[in-house]
Amino acid sequence: MQEHCPSLGARLGLRGSLCRAEPPFKRQIPHWVPCLARVWHTPISPCVSTGCLAVTGPHTMRGYVGGSLLVNCRYEAGQEMQPKFWCYPGRIFTCSDDIIITSSEHPMVRVHRFSIQDNRTRRVFTVTMESLTEGDAGTYVCGVRTGTFNIDEGHVVKVIVDPGQSLHLSAPPQHSTSAQVGLIPALTLPPSIPPPTAAGTDAPRGTPGSFRYFPVLAGLQVLALLAMSGAVLWASLRG
């Protein structure tokens, strides 16, 4: 670094240029210093610009009571083996309470209704919240545990839980089922139409006498023929 004011008088502004540092000195300032200055008095870090936070994800997620919610957060290369967490936010990049967190040996962890799975190939970890309740609504942080002065790299996510609609969705199938049951009697044949099996037996009921007296008439005709034959035979014998 070269100094433009070698004498004390120059540094006091008497003659010569003011003392200043070369541009390389400005680039040596850590990128997280402006971020830390902005969030020193805030409970949740609003610094989400490039270089401030290495973890990215959705800002707002919405779910329903009784349902599930999946949150995907992405991290940078080189953080594959570091723990990934889902927590309630604290002050200055810290968590007030860890809900669930992975480890280098366990990339997938489940605790009650919460689970977290770290895909180290894609550098994305997924947080799942099951059986949502109205109490699950609030602000969370998904992030990477760096272990350096407890300053974590995280992303703030707001979770909204709306009332469930499962009862309204199941009502239409119940009505359709009852309607189908009501249509079943309408598919039966009316009482005025006789069954097909009885149609053949009921057809001759209009002329029962013809079938009843047919043997008698046939017998009389046979007797008349016999009588005529006998008379002819008796006449031929007498002649």
Its domain, for residue 62, covers 44-162
Taking a C-beta distance cutoff of 8 angstroms, is the pair 155, 141 a contact? yes
Instruction: Flag whether 18 is in a domain.
Output: no
* Cα→Cα distances 27→21, 23, 30, 37, Å: 11, 7, 8, 17
Residue 93 pLDDT level (bands cut at 50, 70, 90): low
Highest mean pLDDT among 154-163, 168-177, 204-213 belongs to 154-163
Residue 165 pLDDT level (bands cut at 50, 70, 90): low
Please indicate, yes or no, whether the overall pTM of this predicted structure exceeds 0.75: no
Least confident of 100-114, 139-153, 198-212: 198-212
Share of the chain above pLDDT 70, in %: 54
Instruction: Flag whether 59 is in a domain.
Output: yes
How many structural domains comprise the chain? 1
Instruction: Flag whether 204 is in a domain.
Output: no
> What is the pLDDT, as a whole number, of residue 120?
97
Residue 105 pLDDT level (bands cut at 50, 70, 90): very high
Instruction: Flag whether 131 is in a domain.
Output: yes
Highest mean pLDDT among 10-24, 100-114, 171-185, 225-239 belongs to 100-114
Q: Give the pLDDT confidence of 222-232 residue by residue, as tens digits.
A: 888 888 888 88
- CA 50 vs. chain centroid, Å, equals 32
Instruction: Flag whether 8 is in a domain.
Output: no
Instruction: Flag whether 180 is in a domain.
Output: no
Answer whether residue 196 shows pLDDT above 90.
Answer: no
> What is the pLDDT, as a whole number, of residue 190?
54
- The 3-state secondary structure of the chain reads CCCCCCCHHHHCCCCCCCCCCCHHHHHCCCCCHHHHHHCCCCCCCCCCCCCCCCCECCCEEEEECCCCEEEEEECCCCCCCCCEEEEEECCCCCEEEEEEECCCCCCEEEECCEEEEEECCCCEEEEEECCCCHHHCEEEEEEECCCCCCCCEEEEEEEEEECCCHHHHHHHHHHHHHHHHHHCHHHCCCCCCCCHHHHHHHHHHHCHHHHHHHHHHHHHHHHHHHHHHHHHHHHHHHC
Instruction: Flag whether 90 is in a domain.
Output: yes
CATH number for the domain spanning 56: value is 2.60.40.10
Instruction: Flag whether 183 is in a domain.
Output: no
Q: Give the pLDDT confidence of 16-36 residue by residue, as tens digits.
A: 444 444 444 343 444 444 444
